[in-house]
Amino acid sequence: MVTISNIEHSKAVIDAVKNVVGAKIAGQDNLGRKIKVLNDTGFKWTETVSPTPNNLELGKSTTSKDAFLQFKEAIGKKLKEKGRAHDTTAIGSEVKDVKNGLMRIQDPELFAATEGNLTKIAKVELGGKAMLNETAIKFDPETATPAQLTAEAEKKAEQGAKNFLAFIEKNKDALGETYATKRNAVITMMEASGYKR
């Protein structure tokens, strides 16, 4: 678990956060530059993640409750100042956009693999190295070993058989007299292949 201090953010960080939100609202071309200014303050993407016990334990969040509240309040104030909705949903959307913008800069490979989706991240180590969940790792046939190619083919074949069985069962009436024969043939094939139903 990461140790968190209760030190709140500096004026430079808060001003940079407000500038990012303001630029996004205004549709300014310099939004990327505003994100870079925020990045240059040392503000990490993990500081934009709610400090729940689970997020803290997994290293996805490295902020205190007070600092996170200060961050969200800065966003809410900027939204209100610009005459925009500033409820929990609107603030949450901006928090996510700031997180994604920072992740793109600080860890472009992680962002490419997860598109900012925290559920695809298993854990973030102290040095900032993130470990992906198995479901987030994309299969690449160009770099796969023969065993990985075989496993991927088996996985797709099993899914195809399950889909075919579901199709047959869904179209029972349309298949009429041939339904039972087709269903039994698919089940026999699945059992012989060791596929689960």
Burial class (CB in 10 A: 0-12, 13-18, 19+), 194: exposed
For 42, the token pair is 């040392």
Torsion of CA 109, 115, 116, 118, to 10 degrees: -100
For 66, the token pair is 């007070």
Task: Say whether pTM exceeds 0.85.
Answer: no
Helices (H), the chain: 11-26, 31-40, 53-57, 65-81, 88-106, 108-114, 146-170, 172-175, 179-193
Query: What is the amino acid identity at position 55?
Result: N
CA 59 to chain centroid, in Å, comes to: 15
10 Å Cβ neighbour count for 79? 21
Dist CA 9 CA 7 (whole Å): 7
Instruction: State the first-to-last Cα distance of the chain, in angstroms, to the nearest integer.
Output: 40
Please name which of 67, 71, 65 lies closest in space to residue 16, comparing C-alpha atoms: 71
Q: What is the pLDDT along the chain (197 residues), one digit of tens a residue?
A: 444 444 578 888 899 999 999 888 888 777 889 999 999 999 999 999 999 999 999 999 999 999 999 999 999 999 999 999 999 999 999 999 999 999 999 999 999 888 999 999 999 988 788 888 876 566 677 877 888 788 888 888 999 999 999 999 999 999 999 999 999 999 999 999 988 88
Dist CA 81 CA 79 (whole Å): 5
